[in-house]
Amino acid sequence: MKIGFIGLGNMGSPMAGNLIKAGHDLVVFDLVEASVNMLLAQHPGKASAAASPRMLAGAGMDLIITMLPASQHVKAVYLGPEGLLANVPQRMALIDSSTIDPQTAREVASLSASQGNVMLDAPVSGGTGGAEAGTLTFMVGGNEADFDRFKNIFSKMGKNIVYCGASGNGQVAKVVNNMLLGISMIGTAEAMSLGVSLGMDPKILAGIINTSSGRCWSSDTYNPYPGVLENIPSSRGYTGGFGADLMLKDLGLAAEAAKLAKQPIPLGSLAQQIYQTFSMQGNGALDFSAIINLFRKK
Amino acid sequence: MKIGFIGLGNMGSPMAGNLIKAGHDLVVFDLVEASVNMLLAQHPGKASAAASPRMLAGAGMDLIITMLPASQHVKAVYLGPEGLLANVPQRMALIDSSTIDPQTAREVASLSASQGNVMLDAPVSGGTGGAEAGTLTFMVGGNEADFDRFKNIFSKMGKNIVYCGASGNGQVAKVVNNMLLGISMIGTAEAMSLGVSLGMDPKILAGIINTSSGRCWSSDTYNPYPGVLENIPSSRGYTGGFGADLMLKDLGLAAEAAKLAKQPIPLGSLAQQIYQTFSMQGNGALDFSAIINLFRKK
Amino acid sequence: MKIGFIGLGNMGSPMAGNLIKAGHDLVVFDLVEASVNMLLAQHPGKASAAASPRMLAGAGMDLIITMLPASQHVKAVYLGPEGLLANVPQRMALIDSSTIDPQTAREVASLSASQGNVMLDAPVSGGTGGAEAGTLTFMVGGNEADFDRFKNIFSKMGKNIVYCGASGNGQVAKVVNNMLLGISMIGTAEAMSLGVSLGMDPKILAGIINTSSGRCWSSDTYNPYPGVLENIPSSRGYTGGFGADLMLKDLGLAAEAAKLAKQPIPLGSLAQQIYQTFSMQGNGALDFSAIINLFRKK
Amino acid sequence: MKIGFIGLGNMGSPMAGNLIKAGHDLVVFDLVEASVNMLLAQHPGKASAAASPRMLAGAGMDLIITMLPASQHVKAVYLGPEGLLANVPQRMALIDSSTIDPQTAREVASLSASQGNVMLDAPVSGGTGGAEAGTLTFMVGGNEADFDRFKNIFSKMGKNIVYCGASGNGQVAKVVNNMLLGISMIGTAEAMSLGVSLGMDPKILAGIINTSSGRCWSSDTYNPYPGVLENIPSSRGYTGGFGADLMLKDLGLAAEAAKLAKQPIPLGSLAQQIYQTFSMQGNGALDFSAIINLFRKK
């Protein structure tokens, strides 16, 4: 398959690499020329570069995948006279793996459909580690037949490929899961800090929670209290992992979606403010489990 | 063993019953005479009644267990000239299974120890169903040798018997776990409501969360969205289960403990306020997962 | 002066009326034809209608004022090939009195300036009562010389005309003031409800607060507890006044602005969620002081 | 009048001093002997020391005033066999000016009344400055005739003497006012920080808020943004004033009272958590307006 790939950042670059390794022909684009050159150098002779999204749109692709930082970049790449939608041939298949607000995802998909194209929103979880190992989770929204058709492509980049329903639902699933993750992580941080300051051993406390009704992924797999679990960010100074500023971004997407849907999210919204405070204090680059530092005496 | 049992409410009564069934001699007390009479009628010839805690204290018990609603009742039964501590013989063993604040638990245990007695705090989780089936979880604080000595007694009433460390730690584990449970439940309620109002099917959404990082007991075992799981309160109008007012009580204990420990618990504290609002609106008797009704359009 | 006026809703219509009464020639536009007809009928021979913003832009105005519900309407009226900016002659003066996010206000003003036009953002407070009486407060952002030049026009519609600094600052002042208002109102509602439920007379309590450090506009001028003050919404079943859904809109603008500015606003954000909950329960049309009903036993 | 005075801390000492200056005979007590000695040295020949509350109770006083740090100290001084209630002659008048929870105030007053004594709760506001200048505000609960009888005594120590109704209402008024103060201060801090980071001049912004509906004591008299007002803590590095840890204490009293009254206080409770976080970060000794540092980029 001839695949166009736009967006070669920390996530996009290894994803594109895995498609190349699987034998696909790639034409790539990124605003940062160095990122393009690095990818081409890593896979000599297996990929080529396009000079712009418009050029890529006209280069005879079977499928175009985008992996961009935020909504405004997705709009910039897809819309306007220089964008993909105005320049791809009819019946083109488009997959956007960026994490953006569901509303924008739906607007772009709807414009795409009105021009006879196929579009899937397919945000991922699993971080840069998952992108490199090809073990990402894809949450996919759009037509189910289209999902089935491209499932094989997703499986070159990920392990868990989930169909979420109509267009935009991939983004909904991602944003809603991550909001609950942010809440659980802060909740676990509060609970562990409180229990320890009341005299409990952190491992014993985690053990009890993990076999009880307080159990959650943040307590049993990614416990923020240092020393409770090995080989996760809390055991190595909160380096690596999923950055606090990325969690902040996702909580912001949840808050925006909730506002449009007229849904109250008191804990989700307070979690956003807590991560905003943490970020302002200069900690945005730490793993998001470092939020426990707000609740622990130094 | 001759066991004194004080507090024959919805929890205490089946717990005492299980001890009787296991062959122990019980002497019981409750302020509500009808509760005493019912227990004696259920187990004819196997138990007798004491006229007061003081009388029970002097009746030659090997062990006295208490199961009371709140701190003030524990103080009333244990302290003062009519209380257990003033009237038991030295080296008496005392187990308090009430859920109360860790500070009071430690004060009573410390007074008890100063008189040469043995005391364990051993709050439970598992609800009235677990009390009847003898499948409660006991979280036990106190001396480890004492814990080992009475483990067998706990196992007549429960299935999961966990040693939590020094005196009061049983209460700490209980209150901290339940605080995290309250946060996770509201978080799950917000997440499910938001996802559905943004167009997702609730079962598909729960399925994605439950295999992702948002996973928690409240999402995978006790999902508050109606129809996602069978045989739990959310599938039967939020009847049965763990009452919202009991969750409110436990969040209040957490807030009090956090204040004394000078620990911030922003989400735990907001969860308390949300349950307080829900209770004020007349919903305190519903299962605590009914909190989702605050976030769903009717 | 020949003044174009776009947006004849509950606020815009009396504002336009006051300009007519002051002797100005008006050309008006609204998407709702009935609103246009009503204004023309109220002021026979003193105003005329334009068929579109584009037509109005080309009709030889000295000044065009817009009063629209939200950012998307402002963008629709100002931008695009049919919009004001594309169709007014150079050096046109434009005043937008809509309450919108500062970012959009700045984008539109910047586009306007790049075409050689003058633009002021001038949101108001004072409600429909103030619009009719001509006693609105105008918070104005833009060039100070332009502010001085049009101060006289503002004074036909309002009483308190405040210069807030550079472009967009009118919106900033409005949104920041109203966020603090929303926080103070909920705070006052909590405080009054708590004091009364602890046994105090509401008038005595308000009297003490109003001479102490808890004093605020919401306690001394607009107290939400029924019966404390006369002739305000809380003394007439929370009718009239400033609707809860309008407060919700302004808190949403504040949250959006804070997100872009990377500023934490924990209380502002929780206030937004509380009004969202109140609105979901069907109370959005009540005066915003009715929020006290969330905190009072019925 | 012969007045017993117990509690010679930062507040009690100047209050006692003002009574001495007004010509009253004082017998004083404090656990810290140095505090007693300092007072006696400041007013040679005008006061004497008692060896214990019990001794003071039996020393023929006309009135005993207490000024203590917290509920447990009030209980220790009033209750038990060594306490005031057990040792004063009948019909003694007792005034407690400590800031404590309303429930404890009512319990002590009720015990006092059952022994035929008169008791008023009379917490103050105005800080150490007000205590020294004799300009405190007294919020007084108890029998109105008793209030009238001692109004003259209060006026030796304060300027604004307010009758709040039945026993405990002085504490209710204090705690409720200070909860609203804590909320308003954080709200003002958020609003000022947001407005400035969005480009406004802090003085202009404060000017607009102070003539608008966001106006509050924290914005117009004690603005936390540095440089907006002179001669307040924010203009001198947040030294002096009302300590953040004292605000935290009062928010804790409000939370406790609200729990007992089954009243939701979402903003009050979040304000408590924010001050707890601030205190944990080592800022408890700063003036409470320093909370703005949580919201400002350094």
Task: Kindly name the residue from B2, B21, B46, B174 that is annotated as catalytic.
Answer: B174
Locate tokens 């924290």: which residue? D218
Q: Which residue of A has its CA nearest to D296?
A: A280
> Beta strand B124-125 with B136-141: parallel, antiparallel or unpaired?
antiparallel
- Say yes or no: D27 and D52 in one domain: yes
pLDDT given for residue B117 in this prediction: 95
CB burial of residue B210 (10 Å; 0-12, 13-18, 19+): middle
Assess C137–A contact: CB distance below 8 Å, yes or no: no
- Look at residue C127 in the predicted model and tell me its pLDDT: 86
Residues D263 and D122 in one domain: no
Out of D75, D174, D262, D297, which one is annotated catalytic? D174
What is the structure's pLDDT at D286? 97
- Among candidates D270, D280, D295 on the partner chain, residue whose Cβ is nearest the Cβ of A297: D280
- Band of pLDDT at residue D183, cut at 50, 70 and 90: very high
- The residue with tokens 């018997």 is B161
Query: Would the pLDDT of C247 be above 80?
Result: yes
| Residues D49 and D163 occupy one common structural domain | yes
C178: contact with D, CB 8 A cutoff: yes
Query: What is the tally of structural domains in chain A?
Result: 2
- Residue B281 is given by DSSP the state I
Catalytic pick among A2, A151, A174, A259: A174
Planar angle of CA D114, D115, D117, nearest 5 degrees = 100
Q: What is the DSSP string of D150-167?
A: HHHHHHHHEEEEEE--ST
Q: What is the pLDDT of residue D297?
A: 78
**What is the chain B residue with the closest CA to D271?**
B266
Closest CA to B214 of A217, C43, A92, D159: A217
Which residues have a Cβ under 8 Å from the Cβ of B44 and sit 6 or more positions away? none
Cβ neighbours, 10 Å, residue C73: 17
The yes-or-no verdict on residue B236 having pLDDT over 70 is yes
The helix/strand/coil state of D43 is: coil
Identify which of A266, A280, A297 has the shortest CB distance to residue D297.
A280
A&C contacts, CB < 8 Å: 49
* Residues B183/B185/B186/B191 CA torsion (nearest 10 deg): 120
Confidence label for C298 from pLDDT (cuts 50, 70 and 90): low
**Chain D interface, mutation test: which of B186, B256, B276, most D Cβ atoms within 10 Å?**
B276
Neighbours of chain A (3+ CB pairs under 8 A): B, C, D
Q: Which of D270, D277, D295 sits opposite A294 (nearest CB)?
A: D277
- A54 — pLDDT class (breaks 50, 70, 90): very high
CA atoms within 13 A on the CB side of A281: 19
Among residues A132, A167, A202, the one where a domain terminates is: A167
Q: Examine the domain organization and report whether A157 and A66 are in the same domain.
A: yes
Residues 262-291 of A with CB under 8 A from D: 266, 270, 277, 280
**DSSP secondary structure letters along B28-85:** EE-SSHHHHHHHHHHSTTTEEE-SSHHHHHTS--SEEEE--SSHHHHHHHHSSTTSHH
Per-residue pLDDT for A75 more than 90? yes
pLDDT at B240: 86
Considering the domain architecture, whether residues C186 and C158 belong to the same structural domain is answered as no
> With 90 as the cut, is the pLDDT of residue D240 above it?
no
At C178, which CATH number? 1.10.1040.10
Q: Which residues in A lie closer than 8 A to residue C271 (C-beta atoms)?
A: none
Of D180, D211, D264, the CB nearest to C214: D180
**Contact with chain B for residue D34, Cβ under 8 A:** no
> Which tens digit of pLDDT belongs to each residue from D105-156?
999 999 999 999 999 999 999 888 899 999 999 999 999 999 999 999 999 9
Query: Which of A164, A254, A257 faces B204 most closely, judged by CB atoms?
Result: A164
- Would the pLDDT of D84 be above 90? yes
The reply to whether residue B264 touches residue D255, judged by beta carbons under 8 angstroms, is no
Closest C-alpha among B125, B61, B124 to residue B94 = B61
pLDDT for A243: 95
A118 has pLDDT over 90: yes
Cβ contact C249:C242 at 8 Å: no
Q: Which two tokens stand for residue D151?
A: 């109004």
- State the SS3 of chain A: CEEEEECCCCCHHHHHHHHHHCCCEEEEECCCHHHHHHHHHHCCCCEEECCCHHHHHCCCCCEEEECCCCHHHHHHHHCCCCCHHHHCCCCCEEEECCCCCHHHHHHHHHHHHHCCCEEEECCEECHHHHHHHCCEEEEEECCHHHHHHHHHHHHHHEEEEEEEECCCHHHHHHHHHHHHHHHHHHHHHHHHHHHHHCCCCHHHHHHHHHCCCCCEHHHHCCCCCCCCCCCCHHHCCCCCCCEHHHHHHHHHHHHHHHHHHCCCCHHHHHHHHHHHHHHHHHHCCCEHHHHHHHHCCC
- Counted residue by residue, chain C has a size of 298
Q: Which chain C residue is nearest to residue B276, measuring alpha carbons?
A: C295
**Quick one: pLDDT at residue B297?**
78
Considering only CB atoms, B273 lies closest to which of D252, D265, D277, namely D265
Give the minimum alpha-carbon distance from C142 to chain B in angstroms, rounded to a whole number: 39
Instruction: Taking residues B201-218, report their average pLDDT.
Output: 96
**Which residues of B111-257 form beta strands (DSSP E)?**
118-121, 124-125, 136-141, 158-165
**In whole angstroms, what is the distance from residue C105 CA to residue A87 CA?**
32
Residue C215 Ramachandran class (φ > 0 left, ψ -120 to 50 alpha, else beta)? beta
Active site residue A75: no
Higher pLDDT, D128 or C194: C194
DSSP type of residue C287: B
CB contact under 8 A, D199 and C139: no
How long is chain A? 298
pLDDT tens digits, one per residue of D23-81? 999 999 999 999 999 999 999 999 999 999 999 999 999 999 999 999 999 999 999 99
Contacts of C221 (CB under 8 A, 6+ apart): C229, C232, D213
Inform me whether the pLDDT recorded for B286 exceeds 80. Answer: yes
d(CA A150, CA A167): 15
Q: Give yes or no for a contact between A166 and B199, defined as CB atoms under 8 angstroms apart.
A: yes
Instruction: For chain C, say whether B295 makes contact (Cβ under 8 Å).
Output: yes
Yes or no, beta carbons of B295 and A265 under 8 Å apart: yes
Task: Give dist(CA D278, CA D224) in Å, integer.
Answer: 15
Domain boundary among D143, D167, D191: D167
**φ/ψ (deg, to 5) at A163:** -85, 125
Q: Give residue A239's Cα distance to chain centre.
A: 18
The per-residue pLDDT for range C65-76, each reduced to its tens digit, is 999 999 999 999
User: CB–CB of C88/C17 below 8 Å?
Assistant: no
Hey, is C121 helix, strand or coil?
A: strand
Using CB atoms, list chains with 3+ pairs below 8 Å to chain D: A, B, C
CA distance A203 to A28: 48
Region B26-36: mean pLDDT is 97
pLDDT at D298 over 80: no
Q: How far is CA D230 from the centre of its chain?
A: 24
Q: How many CB atoms lie within 10 A of CB B72?
A: 11
Mean pLDDT across the stretch B108-136? 94
Same domain, C186 and C220: yes
Can you give the pLDDT at residue B115? 92
The torsion angles phi and psi of B33, rounded to 5 degrees, stand at -60, -35
Structure tokens at D178: 């200070």
Q: Are residues C257 and C158 in the same domain?
A: no
Shared-domain flag, residues B192 and B147: no
User: Distance (Å, rounded) from C-alpha A59 to C-alpha A50?
Assistant: 8
Q: Note whether C165 contacts D201, CB cutoff 8 Å.
A: yes
Domain-ending residue, one of A128, A150, A167: A167
Q: Which pLDDT value is given to residue C135?
A: 95
* pLDDT higher than 80, residue B298: no
Quick one: which of C219, B187, A292, C125 has its CA closest to D183? Answer: C219
| CATH number where D43 lies | 3.40.50.720
Q: What's the Cα-to-Cα distance from A144 to each of A96, A158, A165, A246, rounded to whole Å?
A: 16, 18, 7, 29
Copy the structure tokens of residue D52.
Answer: 């214990």
Considering the domain architecture, whether residues B159 and B202 belong to the same structural domain is answered as no
Instruction: Flag whether pLDDT at D294 surpasses 80.
Output: yes
Question: What is the distance between the alpha carbons of residues C127 and D243, in angstroms, rounded to a whole number?
Answer: 39
Per-residue tokens: B145: 């040798």
**Given a cut of 70, is residue D101 above it in pLDDT?**
yes
Claim to verify: residue A111 and residue A201 sit in the same structural domain: no
Residues D284 and D203 in one domain: yes
Check CB contact under 8 Å for B280 and C295: yes
Q: How far is CA D115 from CA C159, D88, D118, D119, in A?
A: 62, 10, 9, 11
Same domain, yes or no, for D163 and D25? yes
Tell me which residue range forms the domain holding C233. Answer: 172-295
Q: How confident is the model at residue A100 (pLDDT cuts 50, 70, 90)?
A: very high
For residues D91-101, give the mean pLDDT. Answer: 97
| ipTM for the whole predicted complex goes beyond 0.90 | yes
Q: What percent of chain B has pLDDT over 90?
A: 97
Q: Which of residues 91-130 of D touch C (CB under 8 A)?
A: 102, 125
Which residue carries 């204004």 as its tokens?
C39
Other beta carbons within 10 Å of A227:
11
The answer to whether residue A127 scores a pLDDT higher than 70 is yes
